[in-house]
Structure 1
Amino acid sequence: MTSIRRARESDVPVILELIRELAVYEKEPDAVKTTEKQLQQALFGENPSVFAHIAEDDGGVQGFALWFRNFSTWEGVHGIYLEDLYVRPESRGAGHGKALLRTLAQHAVENGYARVEWAVLNWNEPSINFYRSLGALPQDEWSTFRLTGPALREFGSAVPARTA
């Protein structure tokens, strides 16, 4: 039986382990730079800006959802942006992912949030089919842009030209 709970500070090592497993699944095994200290600070520091839920059963921790609040200027209320949802391969199909998403949806409804949204890799058909089965729809009219790495440093370090 799946149990969903808020992450505790003692979960930080297993959350990082799951993040690394997710990176392998997404074909980016060397991309994770996050440390336990960074996760601890983000999730449990003085002003937490990120939140996590844990899915567990008799076999221990099977998955997690890591999320933060966003804001809709059109709706005038917050929403949830799901950064990561991951269930260990051997535990998929047991309801852990659905229970995690339902928990976030309930949190959104209880708090008057307008939406729960996330991104999925275009090649990840199993996840896309799972999300569709829940009633989630892709936002095909939007494209995600990202400024990162050298481009971010260059753009963020540039001194804008003064105008007269």
Structure 2
Amino acid sequence: MPCLNIRPATADDVPTILAFIKELADYEKLPHEVIATEETLRQTLFGTPRYAEVLIGEVDDLPAGFALFFHNYSTWLAKPGLYLEDLYVQPSARGVGLGKALLITLAKLAVERGCGRLEWSVLDWNEPAIQFYQSLGATAMDEWTVNRVTGEALTNLAGRTL
């Protein structure tokens, strides 16, 4: 049985984190959307302020996956939450419990930090992930639609007068 370990990422992990991000983008058929660089990841993950945190999942002492997350806030609960932006396990490490270990570690962090929820999004075509998340007790929020403003649309919105 392989040895699993979950640990907080350090700045030395930035090349590995970027590689995982690119692998995840390939899996999601969106590699052209990755503009992150080692420099921007180092600045936003390990600079001041830190905008997100990363857990590295290891199998037999080798990085094989990651979870990138940050705090959000629920006004209805009046509590912080954790939002899981990315969860990725390399294909060669799937099926040994690393994804489950990453989610359990995140749930423990959420409870320790007094969070009211742990949430994330999943692509609607990713049936293996959906089934995996449901097996851990996750509930799909089908009545909610994600909205996003990015790139030129974000710049244009910010440039509007009040």
Residue correspondences, number = 160
Residue 156 (structure 1) aligned with residue 158 (structure 2): yes
Specify the SS of the correspondent of 1:30: helix
**Displacement of 1:150 after TM fit?**
2.5
How large is the RMSD of aligned CA atoms in angstroms? 1.0
**Displacement of 1:59 after TM fit?**
5.8
Find the aligned partners of 1:118 and 1:70 in 2 and give their Cα distance.
Answer: 11
Q: Tell me which residue corresponds to 1:54.
A: 56
Q: Tell me which residue corresponds to 2:134.
A: 132
Residue 73 (structure 1) aligned with residue 87 (structure 2): no
TM-score between both structures, scaled by the size of structure 1: 0.94
Identity %: 52
Q: Tell me which residue corresponds to 1:83.
A: 85
Specify the SS of the correspondent of 1:159: coil
Specify the SS of the correspondent of 2:128: helix
**For 1:141-152, what aligned pairs fall within 5 Å after superposition?**
141-152=143-154
Q: Structure 1: give runs of 5+ residues left out of the alignment.
A: none
TM-score between both structures, scaled by the size of structure 2: 0.95
| 2:124 maps to which of 118, 122, 141 | 122
Find the aligned partners of 2:78 and 2:41 in 1 and give their Cα distance.
Answer: 29
Which of 1 and 2 has greater Rg? 1
After superposing on structure 2, the runs of 4+ consecutive aligned residues of structure 1 that deviate more than 6 Å are none
**Displacement of 1:141 after TM fit?**
1.5
**Displacement of 1:153 after TM fit?**
2.0
Distance 1:151 1:46, change over 3 A: closer
